[in-house]
């Protein structure tokens, strides 16, 4: 939350707007000068006090208990006729407080103040959605292979069909999540939240609460005030159900009902909540086979599989490896602050011959490792020697290429020291004797090569 001084700068400039912020217990954490004048109280009489003891008819208590905003209600206090709004504040999907403001009806005499208020409300709205937004677009999906372009083209077309459910299939690391991000950003829902759920990472006993939320006191250990579920957070936007094939059967039936009815009930709740959300699911498993084996509901499979997009494995689009390598080279240089500018033809041939079981994600990781090695050598070009770890997997020899005598000597010395430490059980005195050097020299070399002294 912004500091009180910053809040004062924003809200004490407007004599027509009374502003209040309370924590999840309903205690006042911020109040502007206008509201103090309306209440005819000092800051000492208000700060840290329960707002319900100051204004018994406050709407903030209901907002804190339900997690729902209350807007445009009449608020009359001490002769002041106002229009009020109360909005819940969330942190990591948990209610942490309430932001309330009331506008004097006299404000309508000032167009400039109205425009300023709307600007401030939009700024707060942007902050709410910042934590649930898509990061990638179709420009981040790189490749020219025919199968890949076909998948990308289909994704671009269906992105505009904002109600259509999409199932993205493909091996791990092929970029299924990038497709989901890009489809959201290219759709009319792009101004609303994009919420990702990893179905494999949430324990079965918590999955229902995570997806659908819960009311205050719904179960032992439930957060006070309740909690919004991922579907509500994604309302009007997109929910991305990653690893959908890992969802337990018990949850599949509940998800099916939500998708069919387009509404949900929170755990412990009694009211239905209408949903307008697009569902994109992804999996690296064969759901059709799982259906045949009774491991995945057939009706849910067909409900999710309205449009299927298959992202091909990297070994089936080897012609894209050079383009991807150049793309990641630029991206990683920016992130790692490295100056690596080139990949040799021999190194590219090596990358093309490898099968890439981890697909595009493995390629990016391999390049990052190679670039780190090149940076240590103070070279701006990647050669076969920087991908020696791939040569070992492929059981082929990697020529040293342009490796200097100094680098080769350094690597040999580092290997000998590490081997000696292993044979002496990391006894430094014995290691120094074994190598025929004094103990201080050994410590200098350990520090030089970054070998842990302990």
CATH number at residue 385: 1.10.8.60
Q: Does residue 32 fall inside a structural domain?
A: yes
Q: Are residues 330 and 299 in the same domain?
A: no
Q: Looking at the structure, tell me whether residues 293 and 156 fall in a common domain.
A: yes
User: Residue 400 falls within a domain, yes or no?
Assistant: no
pLDDT for residue 116: 57
Determine the pLDDT at residue 109: 47
Rounded to 10 degrees, the C-alpha dihedral 360/364/370/371 comes to: 150
Using CA atoms, how far apart are residues 264 and 120, in angstroms rounded to an integer? 32
CA dist 431 and 424 (Å) reads 6
Decide if 389 is inside a domain: yes
Distances (CA, A) of 295 to 17, 255, 386: 57, 15, 44
Kindly state whether residue 294 falls inside one of the protein's structural domains. Answer: yes
pLDDT per residue as tens, the chain (454 positions): 455 777 887 887 777 789 999 999 999 999 999 899 889 999 999 999 999 999 988 999 999 988 889 888 888 888 787 889 999 998 888 899 999 998 876 544 445 555 555 555 555 555 555 567 788 999 999 999 999 999 999 999 999 999 999 999 999 999 999 999 999 999 999 988 999 999 999 998 889 999 998 887 777 767 777 788 899 989 899 999 999 999 999 999 999 999 999 999 888 887 888 999 999 999 999 999 999 999 999 999 999 999 999 999 999 999 999 999 999 999 999 988 889 989 999 999 999 999 999 999 999 999 999 998 888 888 889 988 889 888 888 887 776 555 555 666 777 788 788 888 888 888 888 888 888 888 888 888 888 877 776 5
* Structural domains of the chain, count: 4
My answer on whether 193 and 296 are in the same domain is yes
Q: Are residues 304 and 373 in the same domain?
A: no
Asked if 88 and 223 touch (Cβ cutoff 8 Å), the reply is no
**Do residues 187 and 119 share a domain?**
no
Strand arrangement of the beta sheet that strand 17-23 belongs to: 28-31, 17-23, 94-104, 80-91, 70-77
Asked if residue 291 and residue 176 are part of one domain, the reply reads yes
| Domain CATH for 46 | 3.30.450.20
Q: How far is CA 400 from the centre of its chain?
A: 41
CATH number, residue 157: 3.40.50.300
Q: Give the pLDDT confidence score for residue 314 in this predicted structure.
A: 96
- Whether residue 44 is found in the same domain as residue 166: no
- Say what the pTM is: 0.63
Last residue of a domain, one of 130, 159, 180: 130
What percent of the residues of the chain are helix, what percent strand, and what percent coil, each to the nearest 5? 50, 15, 35
Q: Are residues 172 and 307 located together in one domain of the fold?
A: yes
- Same domain? For 269 and 176 the reply is yes
Q: What is the CATH number of the domain that holds 445?
A: 1.10.10
**Cβ(164)–Cβ(157) below 8 Å:** no
180 occurs within a structural domain: yes
- For residue 108, tell me if it sits in a domain: yes
Helices and strands in the chain, H and E counts? 20, 14
Residues 203 and 243 in one domain: yes
Domain that includes residue 426, residue range: 405-449
| Assigned token pair, 144 | 């020219």
Per-residue pLDDT at 15: 78
Asked whether residue 167 falls in the same domain as residue 292, the answer is yes
Of the candidates 88, 106, 130, which is a domain's last residue? 130
Q: Is 343 found in the same domain as 241?
A: no
Q: Which of 374, 394, 414 corresponds to the end of one domain?
A: 394
């Amino acid at each position: 939350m912004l500091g009180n001084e910053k809040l004062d700068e924003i809200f004490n400039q407007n004599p027509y707007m009374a502003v209040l912020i309370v924590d999840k217990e309903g205690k006042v954490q911020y109040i502007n000068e206008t509201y103090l004048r309306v209440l005819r109280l000092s800051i000492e009489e208000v700060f840290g006090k329960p707002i319900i003891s100051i204004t018994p008819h406050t709407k903030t208590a209901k907002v804190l208990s339900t997690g729902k905003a209350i807007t445009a209600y009449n608020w009359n206090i001490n002769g002041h006729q106002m229009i009020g709004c109360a909005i819940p504040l969330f942190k990591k999907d948990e209610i942490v407080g309430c932001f309330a403001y009331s506008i004097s009806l006299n404000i309508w005499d000032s167009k400039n103040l109205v425009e300023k208020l709307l600007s401030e409300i939009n700024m707060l709205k942007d902050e709410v959605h910042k934590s649930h937004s898509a990061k990638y677009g179709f420009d981040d999906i790189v490749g020219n292979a025919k199968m890949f372009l076909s998948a990308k083209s289909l994704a671009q077309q269906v992105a505009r069909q904002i109600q259509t459910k999409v199932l993205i299939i493909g091996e791990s690391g092929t970029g299924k999540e990038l497709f989901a991000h890009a489809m959201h950003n290219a759709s009319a829902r792009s101004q609303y939240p994009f919420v990702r759920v990893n179905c494999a990472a949430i324990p079965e006993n918590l999955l229902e609460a995570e997806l659908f939320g819960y009311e205050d006191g719904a179960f032992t250990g439930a957060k006070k005030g309740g909690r919004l579920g991922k579907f509500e957070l994604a309302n009007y936007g997109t929910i991305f159900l990653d690893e959908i094939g890992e969802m337990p059967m018990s949850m599949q039936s509940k998800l099916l009902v939500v998708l069919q009815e387009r509404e949900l009930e929170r755990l412990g709740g009694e009211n239905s909540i209408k949903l307008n959300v697009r569902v994109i699911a992804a999996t690296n498993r064969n759901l059709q086979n799982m259906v045949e084996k009774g491991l995945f509901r057939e009706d849910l499979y067909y409900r999710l599989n309205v449009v299927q997009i298959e992202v091909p494995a990297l070994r089936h689009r080897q012609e894209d490896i050079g383009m991807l390598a150049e793309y990641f080279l630029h991206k990683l240089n920016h992130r790692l602050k490295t100056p690596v500018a080139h990949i040799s033809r021999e190194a590219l041939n090596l990358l093309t011959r490898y099968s890439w079981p981890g697909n595009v994600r493995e390629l990016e990781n391999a390049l990052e490792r190679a670039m780190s090695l090149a940076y240590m050598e103070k070279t701006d070009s990647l050669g076969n020697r920087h991908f020696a770890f791939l040569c070992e997997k492929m059981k082929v020899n990697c020529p040293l290429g342009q490796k200097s005598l100094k680098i080769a000597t350094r690597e040999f010395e580092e290997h000998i020291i590490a081997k000696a430490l292993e044979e002496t059980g990391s006894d430094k005195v014995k290691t120094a004797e074994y190598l025929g050097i004094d103990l201080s020299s050994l410590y200098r070399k350990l520090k030089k090569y970054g070998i842990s002294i302990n």
